[in-house]
Amino acid sequence: MIYNNPFLKLSELVPPIAMQGFLITMIVLVILGTLVDIIHKKNVKYFFENAKKAKKSATKELRAGEKASVIAKTIVYDIGTTSELGAGKRRVAHLLGMYGTILFWIASAVMIFFYSSSSSSTAPSAWPVIWHVGAIMTVLGGSWFWFFLRVDVYSEAQPWYRIIKADLFVLALIATSLFGLIWSYLQSLNLNDRWDDKVFLVLYVISNLVLFGGVYWSKFAHMFYKPGAAIQKNLAEADGSRDNLPPEADAPEKFGLGIKREAPKHY
């Protein structure tokens, strides 16, 4: 199964051009959803106004090279390792899901555009493997988060099966990978005229429509906002403006004993 390129077999049913059109439609949906979100929340407008205001209190003018170095470090460390989540399970689960999704999406695009037609050359086995491994990582990372780490489950003792609108993103993400995996598995069994794999193909398509069509209502766009905010924060540290926050106190940290009573998790 892991070497199965599901899009090649799918081309017997759906022409590659239609698969490519579907993928492009998903990208357009993400762009539209994010733009509408930006217009509705006015978050980017606030972000730039705030950055402009903070710049006035900068103590240092950054040269282009310094800026590039801050941005590169932010991409590699803050964004690439989701440092915002600190050390621990939450970060490991996020990294599993994030890199899994990136691998799954890249392999999907490569196989759909270059290896989905019977006339194209066979996909190097690395691509189907990356697709399946990416999907498995996403299901593991996403499920770990869903069942054990969500704030309302972890800290507020809500049952894992309580679903609210904010769960749209993580659930749609898990669904696309899980249905994709089951579809590929059933397809690799060569069930011929049986309907099993087609049912999961339909579920795979629907979950993709929900994931990419639901950007406006879900947390999808955090994958664009978070990196932007991390870059701005680190540039503001480097130029001394600190987003107009007071400098850190030059004194030992004193929080009293209370903070040692239990691990902080009531947020």
Residues that bind ligand HEM (CB under 6 A): 79, 82, 84-85, 90, 94, 97-98, 101-102, 142, 145, 166-167, 169-170, 173, 219, 222-223, 226-227, 230
Short-list 161, 168, 164, CA closest to 219: 168
Cβ atoms of 140 and 103 within 8 Å: the answer is no
Nearer to ligand HEM, 16 or 134 (CB): 134
Minimal distance in Å, beta carbon 83 to ligand HEM?
A: 8
Cβ atoms of 111 and 162 within 8 Å: the answer is no
Nearer to ligand HEM, 6 or 142 (CB): 142
Minimal distance in Å, beta carbon 100 to ligand HEM?
A: 8
SS3 190: coil
Cβ atoms of 81 and 96 within 8 Å: the answer is no
Short-list 46, 145, 52, 37, CA closest to 95: 145
Nearer to ligand HEM, 73 or 226 (CB): 226
Nearer to ligand HEM, 16 or 100 (CB): 100
Minimal distance in Å, beta carbon 91 to ligand HEM?
A: 9
SS3 121: coil
Among all chains, which residue has been given the structure tokens 């490569």? 110
Nearer to ligand HEM, 99 or 185 (CB): 99
Return the CA Rg of the chain: 22
Please state, as a whole number, how many other Cβ atoms lie within 10 Å of the Cβ of residue 234: 16
Minimal distance in Å, beta carbon 179 to ligand HEM?
A: 16
Which residue has its beta carbon closest to ligand HEM?
A: 226
Minimal distance in Å, beta carbon 209 to ligand HEM?
A: 17
Local structure of residue 149 (DSSP, 8 states): I
CA 21 distance to own-chain centroid: 22
Residue 186 CA to residue 204 CA, distance in Å, equals 13
Minimal distance in Å, beta carbon 18 to ligand HEM?
A: 25
Nearer to ligand HEM, 139 or 238 (CB): 139
